[in-house]
Amino acid sequence: MRTWLAGKLAYIVYIYRFFKRNKVARGILLNLLVILLILRLAVGMETTIRIVAMGAQLLFGMAFMIIQFAAIFLFMARSKTITVLPGETSVLTLDDYKGQPVLVDTMRAWVRVLQGDTAFKEMGGEPPSGLLLSGAPGTGKTYLMKCLAGTADIALHGIEGSSFRAMFMGVDVLKVLGFVGKARNLALEHGACIAYIDEIDAIGQSRGGMGAGQGQAVGMMGGMMGSGALTSLLAQISGIGDERPMTTARNITRSWFGLSPLKEGYVLFAGGTNRPEVLDPALIRPGRLDKKIAVDPPDGHGRREVFEYYIAKVKHEEIDLDALVGSTQGITPAAIEVAVQRDAVRMAWMEGRKQINFRDIAASIIEQHMGLPNEISDLPEDQKWQVAVHEAGHAIALHTLRPDMRIAFVSTIRRGGALGFMYPVMKETTYALPLKSVIADIRVSLAGDVASNVILGERWTGAATDLEHVRQRVLYLAWHGVFGGIMLGSEPTKEQGEKIQKFIDEQWEHTRRLVMANE
């Protein structure tokens, strides 16, 4: 009861403090009182009451219309959010984040930051404002923030960046204010809160070009939405427009009832993206989301840890973890979870088995990359032969030219839009390669088309994707100055183009000799 009464009185104190510090508001209130006094002296009390009643009715009608309009806006401004509170049974901790021990150690240091914002202020400083997590989809950026909040025993309030988009001008700003306001309230209750925006590029894209940061649609009320949501978010991160006066008012009334004061909660803004290069510079400048953390796919040791973690959750036969780890370089934790807990279990159940095995997990990983198998029952023999020759060309070239890689799977069964495929993997985790490896990749991509030409006597369709890969890799070499100078535009110069065509012809000839040697 005391807490409830203190909360109600807090608003009265807040209004009093508002008029006390706001000269304009005091002037308006004083002018109204003077007008009422003049009316009373001029026309009498009864007429004054009637005028006031008519004015009140008019104001009520206008207020009712405004409230209706505001209610529609507030309804449209609702967004789907996630909230994780301390003490919940489903709370995750950093012990649940597998495959990235160095990243976990970094996050444990941030636990101390989240719990020590008061110490920062006692030293005369301020705690950091924000984190930016960048990494490929599925690397576990949102999962990492949940684990961080659980370990620090604080709240997390999360939202997807696209949820800030709105048809009507101004609704996106309301969504930002509502999201940040909820995070601040949680911080007041629990000491600190992480305000996390997943896919933050949907709202934080650079305002120098068209996109989410600049506005995608013309509202029904007219005019471009502009960058109102991003501008509002930037102001909130910088601490402009926070609710500290209201917090002070609450603490005054709480002191009247002997209640402990509310501490100014620490809100750590965090964003996740797989496109950090498109973010507005104002969003990632010092003082905002300036602490950048890369969340990469796990290395070999990390993949083993993630596989062990998820395999332990399901019934399974003896599984060759070395083979799995060696065949899945670059795979994300999310892909491992889906492969083991969803797809592998589904495959085992469809075959009437109670446990998953190595074959189930391997097939699940291939299914993720290439799609479901969809064999063509009436494929003519000459076309079957062509698919086999094409994939064999790729396989021979990779085996010969890339000793640092091995062939995990080769298939002539249609998956997705491909009649066949070869799935190579690195033997060891690799972070940088010599340019000669890119040239070898070009020959591997050409080998399917070359093999059809050499073995079958003519070129066939089905090599368009391979040739596009060749084009991309050649442009990659051009960007590195292989063909003279640095490529400044999206296309090479005329002189570079002539060198590139000569280079491709040479690679075709090298690949032709390789295929003929292994005919």
pLDDT over 80 at 14, yes or no: no
Distance CA 13, CA 249 (A): 6
Residue 40's pLDDT band, with cuts at 50, 70 and 90, is: confident
Average pLDDT, the chain: 84
The amino acid that residue 157 corresponds to is H
pLDDT over 80 at 118, yes or no: no
The helix/strand/coil state of 262 is coil
Q: Tokens 């070999």, residue?
A: 300
Q: Which of 45-59, 176-190, 256-270, 468-482 has the lowest mean pLDDT?
A: 256-270
The structure tokens listed for 225 are 């939405």
Of all residues in the chain, the percent with pLDDT exceeding 90 is 46
**What's the pLDDT at 507?**
96
**What's the pLDDT at 185?**
87
pLDDT tens per residue across span 312-331? 999 999 999 998 998 888 89
b/e map 39-48, b = 16+ CB within 10 Å: beeeeeeeeb
Residue 494's pLDDT band, with cuts at 50, 70 and 90, is: confident
Q: What is the mean pLDDT of residues 447-469?
A: 93
Q: Give how far Cα 324 sits from Cα of 33, 269, 389, 407, 427, Å.
A: 81, 37, 28, 13, 12
pLDDT tens per residue across span 195-221? 999 999 999 887 765 444 444 443 444
Distance CA 183, CA 514 (A): 62
What letter does residue 319 receive in the DSSP assignment?
-
Q: Which of 172, 209, 204 is nearest to 271 (CA)?
A: 204
**What's the pLDDT at 346?**
95
Q: What is the mean pLDDT of residues 468-493?
A: 83
**What's the pLDDT at 165?**
79
For residue 155, the surrounding DSSP H or E stretch is strand 155-160
The structure tokens listed for 516 are 């003929």
Distance CA 325, CA 323 (A): 6
pLDDT tens per residue across span 81-106? 889 998 887 889 999 999 999 999 99
Of all residues in the chain, the percent with pLDDT exceeding 70 is 84
DSSP per-residue letters across 233-251: HHHHHTTTT--HHHHHHHH
Task: Tell me the sheet residues that pair with 424.
Answer: 407
